[in-house]
Amino acid sequence: MDKNNYKNVILLAETFQEKAKVQLLLEDQKEVLDPFYGGEDGFNYCFQLLDEACNRIRKSLY
CA–CA separation, 32 and 3 (whole Å): 9
What is the per-residue DSSP string for 1-47? Answer: --HHHHHHHHHH--SHHHHHT---SSGGG-----GGGGHHHHHHHHH
pLDDT of residue 62: 84
Residue range(s) defining the domain that contains residue 20: 3-60
pLDDT of amino acid 34: 85
Q: Where residue 16 falls among pLDDT bands split at 50, 70, 90?
A: very high
Q: Give the pTM.
A: 0.68
Asked if the model's pLDDT at residue 27 lies above 80, the reply is no
Residue-wise pLDDT for 35-54, tens only, equals 888 889 999 999 999 999 99
